[in-house]
Each structure stands twice: as C-alpha cells, then as structure tokens.
Amino acid sequence: MPAYVLVGYSADLLRILDGFLAPDSVLVVDEPEVLAVRGARDRTGEIPCFAGVEPAPVQTGPDRLPGLLDRPPGVRAVLPGNDYGVVAAAVLADAWGLPGPGTEAARVFRDKRRQRRLADEAGIPQPAWREVTGAAEAADFAAGCPDGFVLKPATLQSSEGVLLLDPGADVAAAWRHTTAPNATGGTMRLRGGPGSYLAERRLLGEEFSAELLVRDGVPLFFNATAKRLLGGVHPVEMGHVVPAPPDGGVTGALRDSMLALARAAGFRTGVMHGEWIVEDGVPHLVECAARLPGDQIHLLIELAYDWSLLRNWFRVAAGEEPEPVPARPSGAAIRFLGVPPGRVTSVTGVDEACSTPGVHDVAVSVGVGSHVEPIRSSWERSGFVIATGQDGRGAERTARTASERILISTEQDAMAGA
C-alpha cells in the first residue's frame, strides 16, 4: 500500500523520489485531464516508487476531495507535486489528520492576490500593486510607475505570462500576451487562463529566493539563493547560486522576512519557497509558494549542504525527525542555456562542458532539427549546467565557464517567433 500521496503529477519529481522511496510507495492524485495529457498511467511501470494514479478534482474542486477519496491504509504523508496541487494536498492532510501547512495558509500561497493582502496587513515590504481586469486598468496603474511595472497572472507558475515592462510600453499588447490561454507548453495545469491578474510597481534591485523548512510553525532550515534573470520583458530565471553570497547582511534580512511571512500566514508544516527583490537594502516580497523549489534548487541545496531538503521535507510531512543540518555549506550553482529562436542546426561542446572540473551535471534538451521558441517562460530554456565549488561564487564561475563551451546554432524557420 502507498505510504505517500503526491497531489499533482510530476514525472521528474517521481524519478527523484525513486532514489530513496520504496517501490509502490507513492500514489498520485490529479485531474483526469492532466493525467491523460501527460500519459501518467503509462509511467507506473517505468518508475518503481510510482504505485498508481487516482483521478480527482485537484484544481477544480479541492474542497470536495475528502468526500471523494478515502485515506489509504498506512499513508503517512500528503505532499504537493507542484503549485497546482498545493491547496488540495493541504485539504487532504487536514482531513486525514496528517502534518501540512494548513488549508488557509495553502490558499494564501496559491494566489498572489491573497499574498499581497496578507503582506499589506502584516507590514511586510512589497511593491505597490493592484488587481486589474483589463488593459485600461493596467495602463492606469502603469501611469503611476515611473520605473516601469510588472503584469502577471495571479495563479500560474514558471514565469508563465509574466511581463516586466518599461515606462511607455504597449500595455494593450502586454495584456493580450499575459491573458492568452496556454501561452506555453506547460501541462501541469488545466487549459485556459487563470482569470485574475496583477499589476505591480517594478522593483529595482537584486533578486533572491529563500527556502524554508518548517515543522509545527518552527523553522528547521533556511537557505538564500541568488538569482540570475534573463534581460528584457520576460524575467525568466537563467541561473541560481546556493548559498547566496553573504553580502551586506542580505541573508539575515531574507531569513527574517521569510519567518515574518510564515508567521503571518499561520504556516504549520512543509516547505516555503519565496522570491524577494532587495531594494534599498530591504527585501520586498515578489511571491511565495508552499512547495519544493523548482529549477533544481533542491539539488543545489543538497550539493552545497550535504543535506537533502527533499528527503527532510518528506520526513517532517510524515511526522519524523529531520536530519541535522551541517553548519558550513560549500557552494553549488546552475546556469540555464538560452538559444536564439529557430531550427537547431548544430550542438557542440557538450563533452567539453561535462569534463570541466567541478561540473556535476549537464543536460541539453534540444537536438539538430529541434525548433526553439523565444524564451518567455521556464519551459523554453534549452538545458542547464550544474557545478559545485568551495562557495557559491566559485560554483557559479565554473557553471558559466562550462555553459559557454556549449554552442547551439540555429537558423530562422517558418515557426520562429510565432
């Protein structure tokens, strides 16, 4: 019988879990459409820990789940597999008497409007913001932002639909882009747009994420990650450094800010992954999720700290004691590959990148003949390099050096930029 229920299908996460969980120990619950589109049932024989799937209204009716699903005998924990399973996982954990963030906290971290209201009430620094329902309202807000503004959906992930706009930008065109359904190839959510959108003042400063493991409201682990973003209107993350360099007391300020956010939300047990921009020395909240960080950040933490955020998240979710955290981390970094849009004509330098001292992993997701879209969200990146070092800066230098050895050439085709 499964010991864990994962709410929200993720084949990548299941493969990672297979490294330390027993065979047939994970039951996946998700929307029937998502399971069908992603071929989830066919993967049960490929991933030993994957016991099976249970179709249920994870996104469309999470509050109905306790009446539709019985607690499996012997289940020890319920966890979200992605953003779209956060509320449903919390609902089931509460209904089954298992550790979790709490349903109301989960709702806060699945809706950026709720986060903004909570931060305002708690006095947590954040940009001026407004919920907008059309291009005219967005343009009216933008008129009061001399440094530019951000337009984004309230409930999507992976930078999908997010635009960072300069003063004088074409707000009507931006609105059309952000509200377009299925703007990317992501298949974790149901089709269609989120329905709610935010306009926010553009923050000027360096961006970080903060990872926090909490049990019964008590912080057990904290990490700050420095971020490197794509320039232009699409603020897609193109690199991460763990731990963030300890410059100017930023790490301590980020920790204080994350703890204040957790307390304000009444977050009980689980992982929080918050994004912050430090403006004038003060962390300002961008957004926060109540699930494992993406973009391999959990692996960077494991490499730098010799301690697994993923495994210990599962431990505390099952009511077990976490492992002690080493006091002195080393460093790890990831650099994502960006490729000019078009048809790939050649890929070289992968072996050279792999043989660079300090490189842990190299992945290239395109090959000759592949079509590459412009990078508008995390889905369009073309691979990555992960490296380690004595500290974050050293790891980042190695990742950059190795990534520059990979040359992916493209030529324009009929689909480019479409």
Same domain assignment for residues 144 and 157: yes
Same-domain check for residues 25 and 91: yes
Do the domain assignments include residue 134?
yes
Asked whether 57 and 64 are in contact (CB, 8 A), the reply is yes
Phi-psi sector, 130: left (phi>0), alpha (psi -120 to 50), beta: beta
Q: At what angle do helices 135-142 and 171-179 cross, to 10 degrees?
A: 130
Q: Residue 99 to residues 57, 214, 216, 293, 363: CA-CA distances in angstroms?
A: 22, 11, 8, 19, 35
| Amino acid sitting at position 414 | A
Same domain (yes/no): 160, 175: yes
Q: How far apart are CA 146 and CA 143, in angstroms?
A: 7
Confirm whether 42 is domain-assigned. Answer: yes
Of 31-40, 130-139, 152-161, 324-333, least confident by mean pLDDT is 152-161
> What are the tens digits of pLDDT across the range 133-189?
999 999 999 999 999 999 999 888 767 888 999 999 999 999 998 888 754 445 566
CATH label of the domain that carries residue 253 = 3.30.470.20
Q: Which amino acid is at 395?
A: A
Q: What order of strands is seen across the sheet that includes strand 4-7? A: 50-55, 26-30, 4-7, 77-80
The closest of 83, 6, 9 to 43, measured between CA atoms, is 9
Taking alpha carbons only, the member of 309, 318, 218, 311 closest to residue 267 is 218
pTM score of the predicted model: 0.91
More confident residue, 200 or 234: 200
What is the distance in angstroms between the CA of the first residue and the CA of the last residue of the chain? 47
94 and 9 together in one domain: yes
Q: Could you tell me if 186 and 254 lie in one domain?
A: no
Q: Are residues 144 and 220 in the same domain?
A: no
pLDDT of residue 35: 95
CA distances from 352 to 139, 239, 347, 373 (A): 48, 20, 12, 26
Q: Give the C-alpha separation, 366 to 344, whole Å.
A: 8
Residues 6+ apart with CB under 8 A from 182: 191, 192
Range of the domain at 177: 128-201
In tens, the pLDDT along 208-234 reads: 999 999 999 999 999 999 999 988 788
Same domain, 357 and 293: no
State residue 192's pLDDT score.
54
CATH number at residue 147: 3.30.1490.20
Q: Are residues 207 and 318 in the same domain?
A: yes
Residues 188 and 72 grouped into a single domain: no
Query: How many Å apart are CA 17 and CA 238, to the nearest integer?
Result: 25
For residue 118, being part of any structural domain is answered with no
Beta bridge partners of 384: 336, 363
Closest to 153 measured CA to CA, from 187, 177, 117, 121: 177
Confidence of residue 376 (pLDDT cuts 50, 70, 90): confident
Domain end call among 313, 329, 345: 329
* Per-residue model confidence as pLDDT tens digits over 301-323: 999 999 999 999 999 999 999 99
State yes or no: pLDDT of 193 exceeds 60.
no
Q: d(Cα 322, Cα 35) in Å, to the nearest integer?
A: 32
Same domain, 325 and 337: no
- Residue-level pLDDT at 189: 65
Ramachandran bin of 195, using left for φ above 0, alpha for ψ from -120 to 50, beta for the remaining angles: left
Tokens 């306790």 -> residue:
66
My answer on whether omega of the bond before 374 falls inside 30° of 0, hence cis, is no
Using one digit for the tens of pLDDT, what is the confidence trace for 344-374?
Answer: 999 999 999 999 999 999 999 999 999 999 9
197 lies in the same domain as 273: no
Q: Are residues 207 and 286 in the same domain?
A: yes
DSSP 8-state code for residue 189: S
Q: Does residue 120 lie within any of the structural domains?
A: no
**Domain end call among 152, 175, 201:** 201
Indicate if the pLDDT at residue 399 is higher than 50.
yes
Tokens of 318: 């099952």
Quick one: residue 179, left, alpha or beta (phi over 0 = left, psi -120 to 50 = alpha)? alpha
pLDDT confidence tier of residue 415, bands split at 50, 70 and 90: low
CATH number at residue 397: 3.90.1170.50
Q: How confident is the model at residue 191 (pLDDT cuts 50, 70, 90)?
A: low
Whether residue 91 lies inside any domain: the answer is yes
pLDDT at 156: 80
On whether residue 406 sits in a domain, the answer given is yes
How many domains, in total, are found in the chain? 4
| Among candidate residues 329, 349, 369, the one where a domain is terminated | 329
338 neighbors 318 (Cβ within 8 angstroms)? no
Residue 408's nearest CA partner among 333, 346, 358, 331 is 346
In a domain, 407, yes or no: yes
Task: Examine residue 305 and state whether it is found in any structural domain, yes or no.
Answer: yes
171: nearest Cα among 145, 139, 198, 196: 139
